Copies of this chain bind each other. A is one copy, B any other.
Amino acid sequence: MAYTAAMDVTDLNLIHPDAGSDAPRLATLLADRIGERIAMGDYLPGSKLDELELAEQFGVSRTPVREALIQLGTAGVVTLRPRRGAVVTEVSPQRLMEMFDVMAELESMCARLAARRSSAEEREALRAQHDACVEAVESNDPDDYYLRNERFHHAIYHLSHNDFLEEQALALSRRLRPYRRLQLRVRARVTSSFAEHLDVVEAICTGAEDLAAERIRAHVTVQGARFADLLASLARAGQGPAALG
């Protein structure tokens, strides 16, 4: 799964066990679309995904829908309850923090390797990615900033020059996507995020691997006041406590 600067953001949601995706199975296409709906909040955590209903919506039989749900289930996006159907996985605040901690560790590793391995051209490209965020910051558009921010983070994964690490980081990033977006809705978070990015860029570009690793870890980890912020965002987004499980 090679990264390119022109890569469309919609690519980032893909669930692909397939090798060559020229003629993918219906199940894979469906997994992408259902996963997209979940990421966009169309299906809230805990809500049931009815096979027949989805089959009718997409105009296919139950078989590929089932296979799609199994893919999403193995990826952790939905939870398969044997003989009781699939539901969107509910993520407790506790678990969310755990996931962010692991994300921080992976990104930290990426940043360290990026500082150690990236070429001068790659570092310039990274700086360009960062600069591209400035517009979104000035217009204070969290959604636009989220997209550019995402590309920036993914660029760092890529600069690790460890393809497997990049894949793992992308996969986790995908699962955390809805929540990372929420985080940016907190007042002034966009501005502080942007400032933190700059520090990361500086560390990577000067080859300061320890610094780069620590800075991005601090940037990603949900700690202190940011935990309370996240809780508040979750409560608002879920329209009630049920969504938290």
Report A's interface with B, CB cutoff 8 A: 15, 17-25, 27-28, 66-67, 70-71, 73-76, 79-83, 95, 98-99, 101-102, 105-106, 109, 162-165, 168
Contacts and interface: CB of A to CB of B under 8 A. Distances in A.
Contacts of A79: 17, 19
A172 B162 CA distance: 15
A179 to B, nearest CB: 13
Nearest to A104: B109
Given A24-B82, A162-B102, A17 B73 contact: yes
Given A17-B70, A71-B74, A95 B164 contact: yes
B80 A17 contact: yes
Given A27-B70, A66-B67, A105-B106, A19 B80 contact: yes
Given A23-B83, A163-B95, A17 B106 contact: no
Contacts of A25: 80, 82-83
Given A66-B67, A74-B71, A102 B168 contact: yes
A19 B24 CA distance: 28
A71 B71 CA distance: 6
Q: Interface SS of chain A: helix, strand, loop or mixed?
A: helix
A81 B162 contact: no
Contacts of A98: 162-165
A194 B83 CA distance: 44
Contacts of A17: 70, 73-74, 76, 79-80
B19 A81 contact: yes
Nearest to A24: B82
B163 A82 contact: no
A165 B109 CA distance: 15
A105 B18 CA distance: 27
A75 B99 CA distance: 18
Contacts of A168: 102
A210 B102 CA distance: 17
B109 A105 contact: yes
A70, A79, A101 pick with most chain B CB within 10 angstroms: A70
Contacts of A165: 98, 101-102
Contacts of A164: 95, 98-99, 101-102
30 contacts: A17-B70, A17-B73, A17-B79, A17-B80, A18-B73, A19-B79, A20-B82, A21-B82, A22-B82, A23-B82, A25-B82, A25-B83, A28-B82, A67-B67, A70-B71, A70-B74, A71-B73, A74-B74, A95-B164, A98-B164, A99-B164, A101-B162, A101-B164, A101-B165, A102-B106, A102-B109, A102-B164, A102-B165, A105-B105, A105-B109
